[in-house]
A and B are shown apart, each in its own frame.
Chain A
Amino acid sequence: MVDELLVKDLDVSVNGIRILDGVSLDINTGEVHVLMGPNGSGKSTLSNTIIGNPKYKVERGKILFNGKDLLKMKPDERVKEGIFMSFQEPVEIPGVSIFNLMRTAYLKSGGSTSELSAFRSRVSSLMSQLGFQESFMNRSVNEGFSGGEKKRFEVLQMMVLKPRMAILDEVDSGLDIDTLKIIGSMVKEASKSMGMLIITHYDRILEYVKPDFVHIMKDGRIVSTGGMEIVSEIKEKGYNYYK
């Protein structure tokens, strides 16, 4: 089955200030879309709006997933439809263990208690692929994590939750080359079975995941859309080239 995330003519404001201005996107299963742009151009506003962060107010436009209106749903309901978002700066939640979070998320997504041990093994195996020790499960969510640990944990959650549409917000920033390699290859593997929107500053992750579409965002608008050639164009001319 092909899933479709459709963003149409989206205007979004935060605290009364307009951030997004008529953004449209159409992402299908198996497609990798990359969204690039300078700081403050509205990339994270878009991802937060898709997941349903209440701070972001939709003034106009639609977000549909397989025709269903996501804007009428709470964040957890959007997740049940199959949406996933990784956070650019994941927040610490003291006392809530990684495994408690994963287990609850699993049960909420319809997982059964009787298969918890199988679930646990799957989490363990993914953790080791991402370079985590088993004891990581007992740590509090994001508490005292290094930058790289935070990003790897976001990817771990995507792999565990198996969404149908993933929005990865700067999952590649601040990583050393080895971590980038691990995350890159995992994201690539995942992208085969879901739709994906990768928000990034750099082209480094694109060495691992080849995008089907590259979008440039500036001042809350998508100013250019194309393929990989756009990435080289940015490298050459900078974002100022785009109006």
Chain B
Amino acid sequence: METFEADYSKYDFKNSTDYDVTFEKGLSEDVVKRISKLKGEPDWMLEFRLNAFKFFMKRPVPQWGGDLSKIDFNDLTYYLKPIKDRAKAWDELPKEIKDTYDKLGIPEAEKKFLSGVEVMYESESVYSSVKKELEDLGVIFCDTDTALKKYPELVKKYIGRVISQNDNKFAALNSAVWSGGSFIYVPKGVKVPMPLQAYFRINAESMGQFERTLIIADEGADVTYIEGCSSPIYSKNSLHAAVVEIIAHKNSHVKYITIQNWSSDVYNLVTKRAFAYQNAYVEWIDANTGALLTEKYPSVYMLEPGAKANILSVALANRNQHQDTGAKAIHLAPDTSSTIRSKSICLNGGRTSYRGLVKVGKGATGVKTSTKCDALILDKESRTDTYPYMEISEEDATVSHEASVGKIGDEQLLYLESRGIPEQEAINMIVLGFMGEFIKELPLEFAVEFNRLITLNMEGAVG
């Protein structure tokens, strides 16, 4: 039995109330009910959770990907750690993680935010002006719990529409016990002038284990959302099962950028999917490193003519890490098009797997889709695989698939060394060059951090 105290005031801007909560390890219908009750949720959400719980119990642990056999569902806690407990948690953080923060040059306040020690990121002044601007545009941007309280009809209309409670075991788990995550609604024709970043959502749980993100772009809307960080995210719990749903209505554009770097004992099992309606354009830029095992395949279902998808999946697997990542492009309407690019690096015995699905349904004529997977393998101990699946039901589809596996060539190293660049830096340059296509997609501050993250990973990885 674990006993702790939680502060739920973060879910409610008006009333600040402390709760005393007792939560045991393990999951039961009772736990699900108590979570919902604590949050003061409407009945339909409780039903949503309970249904999901049934699906979760029924579904077996998937066998097709990485090794999930060591997850002990009875040894996990299914509800948020309380804030007050976090205040002292900084001292308990593993030294390795603190050192990495220092090496990355992360400011003190941000370190605490990232490590989950502090919920509030000290950018309130920046945020308040952003907040005003968004309000004027009618854009809703808050955590999903707050959205459920303030905009229940919107949440009810869309939650589970893209990823049902019964989609897969981990989506079911998320649906049963979800907390936090981002909620974004962009009204018709509104183009959000700046990328929305998760850390703007002060007073919110942004990196919970079972976060639920829901992004709705109404007709003609345009929004870019960025979350995550290159610093390792420390988690006391070893399972992260998030769900991200995107609804891109007619003529809208949604771009979702994330970098995740979980600490090395975490199973990161995330379901991310978008519905793209007529002429909508959805982009996933998804980078994964850290974690014991990541299974994540951002998907776009192109449901109406002219919808487009662009998915860039990036993985870096160092010692004891398995990144099983990829993408799915599901063409269910004519004249839809998709581009999938995957870049992966493995070293020190790490393993990367590309797993992708390209589907062209019956009646989806005039489809164009291309997939390009590049893997870079830095030593003999490491491993990379590709599992591309294709189901093409229309003959006129233009389908291309390219895959390459490269090593850092001795000749490339010698070339850079012969220009006076030491071996380690030469390796970094080649690896960053390999990732260049991805780094270009990132906002500057993310690009800088990602560069440093790669460089850190390359330390001691000499040819």
Indicate whether A140 reaches chain B with its CB closer than 8 angstroms.
yes
- Mark interface residues in A79-98 (1 if CB within 8 Å of B CB, else 0): 11000110100110111100
Indicate whether B409 reaches chain A with its CB closer than 8 angstroms.
yes
| Given contact pairs A54-B410, A55-B410, A93 touches B415 in the complex (Cβ within 8 A) | yes
B418 CB contact (under 8 Å) in A79, A94, A96, A109: A79
Please give, as numbers and ranges, the residues of chain B lying within 8 Å of A53 by CB-CB distance.
414
Q: Are A79 and B419 in contact (CB under 8 A)?
A: yes
Please give, as numbers and ranges, the residues of chain B lying within 8 Å of A104 by CB-CB distance.
419, 421, 425, 429
Please give, as numbers and ranges, the residues of chain A lying within 8 Å of B409 by CB-CB distance.
91
Indicate whether A149 reaches chain B with its CB closer than 8 angstroms.
no
- Nearest-Cβ distance from residue B273 to partner chain A, whole angstroms: 30
Task: Identify the closest chain A residue to B433 (Cβ).
Answer: A95
Bound-state Cα–Cα, A138 to B247, Å: 37
- Nearest-Cβ distance from residue A190 to partner chain B, whole angstroms: 16
Q: Are A74 and B433 in contact (CB under 8 A)?
A: no
Q: Count how many chain A residues have C-beta atoms less than 8 Å from C-beta atoms of the other chain.
A: 29
Indicate whether A76 reaches chain B with its CB closer than 8 angstroms.
yes
- Nearest-Cβ distance from residue B437 to partner chain A, whole angstroms: 7
Our count of residue pairs bridging A and B at CB distance below 8 angstroms stands at 78
Q: Are B416 and A51 in contact (CB under 8 A)?
A: no
Indicate whether A14 reaches chain B with its CB closer than 8 angstroms.
no
Indicate whether A206 reaches chain B with its CB closer than 8 angstroms.
no
Task: Identify the closest chain B residue to A110 (Cβ).
Answer: B420
Q: Are B433 and A94 in contact (CB under 8 A)?
A: yes
- Nearest-Cβ distance from residue B51 to partner chain A, whole angstroms: 47
Q: Are B415 and A95 in contact (CB under 8 A)?
A: no
Please give, as numbers and ranges, the residues of chain A lying within 8 Å of B433 by CB-CB distance.
93-96, 140
Q: Are A76 and B437 in contact (CB under 8 A)?
A: no
Q: Are B417 and A93 in contact (CB under 8 A)?
A: no
Please give, as numbers and ranges, the residues of chain B lying within 8 Å of A79 by CB-CB distance.
417-420
> Contact size class for B?
20 to 34
Indicate whether A108 reaches chain B with its CB closer than 8 angstroms.
yes
Indicate whether A7 reaches chain B with its CB closer than 8 angstroms.
no
B421 CB contact (under 8 Å) in A51, A76, A140: A76
Indicate whether A157 reaches chain B with its CB closer than 8 angstroms.
yes
Indicate whether A161 reaches chain B with its CB closer than 8 angstroms.
yes
Please give, as numbers and ranges, the residues of chain B lying within 8 Å of A84 by CB-CB distance.
418
Q: Are A161 and B420 in contact (CB under 8 A)?
A: yes
Please give, as numbers and ranges, the residues of chain A lying within 8 Å of B414 by CB-CB distance.
51, 53-54, 75
Residue among B412, B419, B429, B433 with max Cβ neighbours from chain A (10 Å): B419
Q: Are B422 and A74 in contact (CB under 8 A)?
A: yes
Bound-state Cα–Cα, A87 to B434, Å: 22
Indicate whether B432 reaches chain A with its CB closer than 8 angstroms.
yes
Indicate whether A100 reaches chain B with its CB closer than 8 angstroms.
yes
Please give, as numbers and ranges, the residues of chain B lying within 8 Å of A55 by CB-CB distance.
410
Indicate whether A25 reaches chain B with its CB closer than 8 angstroms.
no
Bound-state Cα–Cα, A105 to B429, Å: 12
| Given contact pairs A75-B414, A101-B416, A93 touches B430 in the complex (Cβ within 8 A) | yes
Task: Identify the closest chain A residue to B431 (Cβ).
Answer: A95
- Mark interface residues in A52-72 (1 if CB within 8 Å of B CB, else 0): 111100000000000000000
Indicate whether B26 reaches chain A with its CB closer than 8 angstroms.
no
- Mark interface residues in A198-221 (1 if CB within 8 Å of B CB, else 0): 000000000000000000000000
- Mark interface residues in B309-324 (1 if CB within 8 Å of A CB, else 0): 0000000000000000
| Given contact pairs A53-B414, A87-B415, A74 touches B423 in the complex (Cβ within 8 A) | yes
- Nearest-Cβ distance from residue A197 to partner chain B, whole angstroms: 15
Please give, as numbers and ranges, the residues of chain A lying within 8 Å of B432 by CB-CB distance.
95-96
Bound-state Cα–Cα, A157 to B419, Å: 8
Please give, as numbers and ranges, the residues of chain B lying within 8 Å of A94 by CB-CB distance.
433-434, 436
A91 CB contact (under 8 Å) in B411, B422, B436, B437: B411
Indicate whether B293 reaches chain A with its CB closer than 8 angstroms.
no
Task: Identify the closest chain B residue to A96 (Cβ).
Answer: B433
Please give, as numbers and ranges, the residues of chain A lying within 8 Å of B412 by CB-CB distance.
91, 93
Bound-state Cα–Cα, A91 to B419, Å: 13
Q: Are A108 and B422 in contact (CB under 8 A)?
A: yes
Please give, as numbers and ranges, the residues of chain A lying within 8 Å of B418 by CB-CB distance.
51, 75-76, 79, 84-85, 87
Task: Identify the closest chain A residue to B432 (Cβ).
Answer: A95
Task: Identify the closest chain A residue to B436 (Cβ).
Answer: A95
A95 CB contact (under 8 Å) in B416, B420, B425, B437: B437
Indicate whether B435 reaches chain A with its CB closer than 8 angstroms.
yes
Please give, as numbers and ranges, the residues of chain A lying within 8 Å of B426 by CB-CB distance.
76
Please give, as numbers and ranges, the residues of chain A lying within 8 Å of B420 by CB-CB distance.
76, 79-80, 105, 108-109, 161
Bound-state Cα–Cα, A76 to B418, Å: 6
Q: Are B436 and A101 in contact (CB under 8 A)?
A: no
Bound-state Cα–Cα, A76 to B429, Å: 15
A96 CB contact (under 8 Å) in B411, B417, B429, B437: B429
Q: Are B423 and A76 in contact (CB under 8 A)?
A: yes
Bound-state Cα–Cα, A64 to B36, Å: 78
Task: Identify the closest chain A residue to B374 (Cβ).
Answer: A94
- Nearest-Cβ distance from residue A21 to partner chain B, whole angstroms: 24
- Nearest-Cβ distance from residue B440 to partner chain A, whole angstroms: 9
Please give, as numbers and ranges, the residues of chain A lying within 8 Å of B419 by CB-CB distance.
79, 101, 104-105, 108, 157, 161
Q: Are A76 and B430 in contact (CB under 8 A)?
A: no
- Mark interface residues in A136-150 (1 if CB within 8 Å of B CB, else 0): 000011000000000
Bound-state Cα–Cα, A100 to B412, Å: 15
Task: Identify the closest chain B residue to A142 (Cβ).
Answer: B415
Bound-state Cα–Cα, A87 to B412, Å: 11
Bound-state Cα–Cα, A213 to B416, Å: 30
Please give, as numbers and ranges, the residues of chain B lying within 8 Å of A85 by CB-CB distance.
418
Task: Identify the closest chain B residue to A86 (Cβ).
Answer: B418
With A95-B433, A104-B425 already in contact, 12 other A-B pairs whose C-beta atoms are closer than 8 Å? A74-B422, A75-B414, A80-B420, A91-B412, A93-B429, A94-B433, A95-B434, A96-B429, A108-B420, A108-B421, A108-B425, A140-B433
Sampled A-B contacts (19; CB under 8 Å): A74-B417, A74-B422, A75-B418, A76-B420, A85-B418, A90-B415, A91-B415, A93-B433, A94-B434, A94-B436, A95-B434, A95-B436, A96-B436, A101-B421, A104-B421, A104-B425, A108-B419, A141-B415, A161-B419
5 smallest beta-carbon distances between A and B, as pairs: A95-B433, A95-B436, A79-B420, A96-B433, A75-B417
Mark B residues whose CB is within 8 Å of A.
409-412, 414-423, 425-426, 429-430, 432-437
Mark A residues whose CB is within 8 Å of B.
51-55, 74-76, 79-80, 84-85, 87, 90-91, 93-96, 100-101, 104-105, 108-109, 140-141, 157, 161
